Structure 1
Amino acid sequence: MIERTDVTGVLLAGGRGQRMGGVDKGWVEFDGLPLVTQVLQRLSPQVGRVVISANRHLGRYRRLGHAVVTDSLPDYPGPLAGVVGALREVSTPWILLAPVDMPWLPVDTLSRLSGAIGEADIAVAHDGRRLQPLVALIRSSLGADLSQWLAAGGGRVVSWYDRHRWIQVDFPAQEAQFANLNTPGEVELAGRAQGGHASSPGSCHE
C-alpha cells in the first residue's frame, strides 16, 4: 500500500468553466460552501499535501493554505497542462488527481487506487458506468514525458495514459460520488436532492 505521505493531491481548478457560464467553478457555491472547499475536505485527509492548479483568482486560492500553480501553456490546453504545472511543485513519488467540480469525491479514493495499482504507472477510477480519467493515481516520474507529449500537440487525457502502463479500478455502487457539477442547472438540481444536508444520497459516511 502506498502511504499518504508519498502522495501529493493535485486539485484541478484551472478550467474555463464554459458550461458554467465561464465562471471559475472552484468558487461556485453548493450547499453553503464553494466547490473547492468541499473537494479539499475529501482530498486533503487522503494525501500528504495538496497543490491547486488554477488560472484565475490565484490569491483567493492561496488563502486556502495550499500551493497554487498555473498552466505553463497558453489558451487553456486542457487539464493535463495543469498536471504539468503541479508536478513542478511535487517532491513525492505519486500524485492523486481530483477535479474541483466533484464535491462527493470518495474518501477511499487513494486506498482503492493504491491497493490495486501493482506495477502499473497509473490507476484510474471507474464509477461502474464510465471511466473517470481525472480521478487518477499517477507516478510523478512521468512528468517529463507528459510535458514533451503536450508540447508535441497531445491533449486527450486517456491518449496520454495509453502511452504508459495503466489500469482501471472499479468503485462499485459509488457512481453518485463521482458526479460532476458542470452547469448551473446541475448545481441547482443537486442542491434540491440534498435537501440541505452536507452529503449526497450516494456518499459514504466518514
Structure 2
Amino acid sequence: MIPQHDLTGLILAGGQGRRMGGVDKGLVPFAGRPLVAHVRERLAGRVGELLVNANRSHDAYAAYADRVIEDAEGGYQGPLMGIYSGLRAAHTPWLLVVPCDTPALPADLVTRLVAGIGDADIAVAGDGERLHPVVALIRTALADDLAAALAEGERKIDRWYARHAWVRVDFAAGPAAFANLNTDDEKRRLERALAEEPIDR
C-alpha cells in the first residue's frame, strides 16, 4: 500500500471552460459551493499535499490547495499538460489526478486506486462500463516520458497511458459518480439528482 505521505493530489482546473461560456469552471457554484470544493473533499486528508492546476484565479483557488500551479507551458494545451505540470511539481512518488468538474466522485476514490495499482505505473478509474482517464493514480517518475510525448505533439491521455504499465480500477458507484460537467444544463441535472439521492461524504 502507498502511504499517504507518498501521495500528492492534483485537481485539474486549468481549462478554458469553453462550453460554459469561458467561465473558470472550478469556481462555478454547485449545490451552494464551488465545484472545486466538492472535489477537494475527496482528496483532503487522504494525500500528503494537495495541488490545484490553474491558469487564472490563483487567489481563489489558493483556498482549496496547499499550492496552486500553472501549466508548465502556456496556451491552454489540455489536461495532459496539466497532468505533466503536476508530475513535475509533486514532491512524492505518486500523483492522484482528478478534474475540477466531477463533484460526485466516489468517497473511497483514493483508497480504491491505491489498493488497485499493484505493480503498475498508472491506475485509471472506471465505472464498470467506461474508463475515466482524467481520474488516475500516476507514478511521478513518468514526468520525463510525458515531457517527451508532449514535445512530440501528443495530447491524448489514453495514448500516453498505453505507453506504460497501467491497470483499470472499477468502482461500483456507477457513471454518475464520474460525471463531468461541461454545460449549465448538465450541472443543473446533476444538482437535482444529488438533491434527490445524496452521495456519501
- Whole-angstrom distance in 2 between the partners of 1:66 and 1:80: 21
| 1:45 paired residue number | 45
| 2:73 paired residue number | 73
Once structures 1 and 2 are overlaid, which stretch shifts more, 66-75 or 31-40?
66-75
Alignment RMSD (CA, Å)? 1.5
2:150 matched to 1:150? yes
Match of 1:167, SS state, is strand
Q: Kindly state the Cα deviation for residue 23 of structure 1 after the two structures are TM-superposed.
A: 0.7
| 1:34 paired residue number | 34
| 1:8 paired residue number | 8
Q: Does the aligned pair in 2 maintain the 1:42–1:106 contact within 8 Å?
A: yes
Once the two structures are superposed, what CA deviation does each residue of 1:73-106 show, in whole Å capped at 9, x if it has no partner?
Answer: 2321111111222223211110000000011111
Match of 1:68, SS state, is strand
Once the two structures are superposed, what CA deviation does each residue of 1:28-69 show, in whole Å capped at 9, x if it has no partner?
Answer: 001000001111112212211111100111122123342011
Once the two structures are superposed, what CA deviation does each residue of 1:93-125 show, in whole Å capped at 9, x if it has no partner?
Answer: 100000000111112112111212111100000
Count of aligned pairs:
201
Q: Does the aligned pair in 2 maintain the 1:46–1:107 contact within 8 Å?
A: no
Matches within 5 A, 1:137-176: 137-176=137-176
Q: Does the aligned pair in 2 maintain the 1:43–1:107 contact within 8 Å?
A: no
| 1:188 paired residue number | 188
Once the two structures are superposed, what CA deviation does each residue of 1:2-23 show, in whole Å capped at 9, x if it has no partner?
Answer: 1122100011000111111111
Q: Kindly state the Cα deviation for residue 202 of structure 1 after the two structures are TM-superposed.
A: 6.7
Q: Does the aligned pair in 1 maintain the 2:10–2:53 contact within 8 Å?
A: yes
- Whole-angstrom distance in 2 between the partners of 1:176 and 1:9: 22
Q: What fraction of aligned residue pairs are identical, expressed as a percent? A: 48
- Whole-angstrom distance in 1 between the partners of 2:43 and 2:153: 31
| 1:86 paired residue number | 86
Matches within 5 A, 1:94-113: 94-113=94-113
TM-score, L = length of structure 1: 0.92
| 1:134 paired residue number | 134
* Residues 1:104 and 1:144: Cα distance change in structure 2 (over 3 Å): same
Q: Aligned letter for 1:43? A: L
| 1:123 paired residue number | 123
Q: Does the aligned pair in 1 maintain the 2:42–2:109 contact within 8 Å?
A: no
Instruction: Give 5+ residue unaligned stretches, structure 1.
Output: none
Superposition misfits of 4+ residues, deviation over 6 angstroms: none
